[in-house]
């Protein structure tokens, strides 16, 4: 039995005031890292497919970059989850962002030397940054009260907006800078990604003290003194529902997003217009988070997850009917696509956190993010094949219809 007021290792248990102070500090550090991480992830989704098309010489393989860095993010999600369980959020997130930065450097070198094998390997490693950027959202929930978990996730996510929106809209100047350095224009955004990911990892490693996960685990051990084993209990049913929500929204979003730059370039749109559309899309993925988080906490997890499916369907229909030369409708479609993903990710994340405890949370979160990453990889790889065999409209409509599978999942969960 542990003495009242102490944890299982003799560390004094903090009071509610101190817990709130640590939570505020944690969110501040996470916000800083997410701003940088957002700039890093923007490179892959904006010019990854275009770079692959130029280097591989075919539209059918344009989805390969998304598939590769998403597969890399799957492995990274698994490893970051395991490292976090043993060493805490600080170490796991710092290593993940560091790997993403190394991968981005490799992409630049591959583009400069026209090395396809190096490009493929580097994109895989670059995916670690994407996974870590998503995993960082959980750091904001470790010490958050149950009724405020959706809001805590949203604070972490909305910070990503600044970097993620700026990144795509810097495609042209970054491309010009790369050319001045003697590099291919499309490698420019990956120079930004390398610096951003490495900086995000440094911020987390230096400032995320005390570690929110390790502190939450100690607090739980002190509160539930009857639990005297390291064996983690299984997650609740809500974790599986949350995983289904995030997986389906990821497939639909990635499939349509990946091929939009290729579709636009094939119909005469320049890099500036492509960057604008993707910038709006990424902004819609993250900027509404503060409102979404409140709605998830107040309206409920399942209603907001259902709203994700409906919004993604509207996005797919809009993209399918939009004329290829209509920049306005493409912006609307990609904004709806980002918004639907936002609804799904925040509601799904809250469901997972609700259904877990600190002892089993990192491994469960890591495993679920592996599924999300694999779903995105499948969506990215198949998107190029589907578009080559049919057209962009069919791909977009198919992605929207796929999102409707959320409805029966949520109906069963509610029952």
**pLDDT 10s digits, 327-378:** 999 999 999 999 999 999 999 999 998 998 888 888 898 889 889 888 887 8
> Chain-wide mean pLDDT for the chain?
85
- C-alpha–C-alpha distance, residues 103 and 191, integer Å: 11
Decide if 220 is inside a domain.
yes
Instruction: Establish if 410 belongs to a structural domain.
Output: yes
Cis peptide bond prior to 278, omega within 30° of 0:
no
Q: How many domains, in total, are found in the chain? A: 1
pLDDT tens digits, one per residue of 14-42: 677 888 899 999 999 999 998 888 888 77
Q: What is the CATH number of the domain that holds 78?
A: 1.20.1250.20
**If DSSP states are collapsed to H, E and C, what string results for 316-355?**
HHHHHHCCCCCHHHHHHHHHHHHHHHHHHHHHHHHHHHHC
Q: What's the CA gap between 80 and 268, in Å, rounded?
A: 41
Residue 1 lies in a domain: no
pLDDT band at 13 (very low <50, low <70, confident <90, very high): low
Is 296 a member of any domain? yes
Range of the domain at 378: 16-414
How far apart are the C-alpha atoms of 353 and 342, rounded to whole Å?
17
Task: Give the chain's end-to-end CA distance (angstroms, integer).
Answer: 40
In a domain, 10, yes or no: no
In a domain, 187, yes or no: yes
Selection from 271, 107, 258, 263 nearest residue 174 by Cα: 271
Q: Using the Cα atoms of residue 151, residue 157, residue 162 and residue 168 in order, give the sign of their dihedral.
A: negative
pTM (two decimals): 0.75
**362 within a domain of the structure (yes/no):** yes
Task: Tell me whether residue 7 is in a domain.
Answer: no
Q: What is the pLDDT of residues 80-113, one digit of tens each?
A: 989 998 899 999 999 999 999 999 999 999 999 9
pLDDT single digits (tens) 280-328: 898 898 889 889 999 999 999 999 999 999 999 999 999 999 998 889 9
């Amino acid at each position: 039995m542990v003495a009242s007021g102490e944890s299982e290792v003799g560390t004094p248990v903090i009071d509610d005031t101190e817990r709130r102070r640590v939570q505020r500090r944690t969110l501040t550090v996470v916000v800083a890292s997410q701003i940088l991480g957002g700039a890093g992830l923007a490179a892959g989704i904006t010019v990854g497919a275009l770079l692959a098309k130029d280097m591989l010489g075919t539209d059918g393989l344009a989805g390969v970059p998304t598939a590769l860095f998403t597969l890399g993010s799957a492995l990274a999600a698994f490893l970051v989850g395991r490292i976090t369980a043993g060493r805490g959020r600080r170490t796991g997130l710092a290593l993940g962002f560091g790997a993403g930065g190394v991968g981005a450097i490799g992409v630049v070198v591959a583009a400069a030397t026209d090395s396809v094998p190096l490009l493929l390997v580097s994109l895989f490693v670059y995916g670690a940054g994407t996974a870590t950027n998503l995993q960082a959202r959980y750091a904001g929930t470790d010490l958050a009260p149950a009724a405020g978990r959706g809001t805590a996730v949203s604070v972490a996510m909305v910070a990503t907006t600044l970097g993620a929106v700026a990144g795509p809209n810097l495609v042209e100047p970054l491309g010009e800078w790369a050319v001045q350095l003697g590099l291919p224009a499309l490698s420019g955004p990956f120079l930004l990604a390398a610096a951003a990911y490495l900086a995000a990892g440094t911020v987390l490693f230096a400032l995320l003290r005390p570690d929110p996960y390790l502190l939450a685990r100690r607090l739980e051990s002190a509160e539930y003194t009857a639990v005297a084993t390291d064996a983690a209990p299984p997650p609740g049913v809500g974790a599986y529902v949350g995983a289904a929500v995030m997986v389906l929204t990821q497939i639909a979003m990635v499939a349509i997003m990946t091929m939009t730059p290729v579709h636009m370039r094939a119909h005469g749109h320049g890099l500036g217009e492509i960057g604008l559309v993707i910038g709006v899309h990424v902004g819609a993925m993250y900027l509404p988070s503060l409102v979404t988080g409140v709605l998830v906490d107040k309206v409920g997890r399942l209603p907001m997850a259902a709203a994700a499916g409906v919004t993604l369907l509207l996005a797919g229909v809009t993209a399918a009917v939009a004329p290829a030369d209509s920049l306005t409708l493409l912006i609307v479609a990609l904004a709806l696509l980002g918004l639907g993903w936002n609804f799904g990710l925040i509601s799904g994340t809250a469901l997972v956190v609700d259904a877990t405890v600190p002892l089993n949370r990192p491994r469960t979160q890591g495993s679920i993010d592996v599924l999300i990453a694999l779903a995105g990889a499948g969506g990215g790889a198949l998107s190029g094949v589907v578009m080559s065999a049919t057209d962009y409209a069919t791909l977009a409509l198919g992605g929207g219809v796929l999102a409707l599978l959320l409805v029966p999942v949520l109906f069963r969960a509610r029952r």
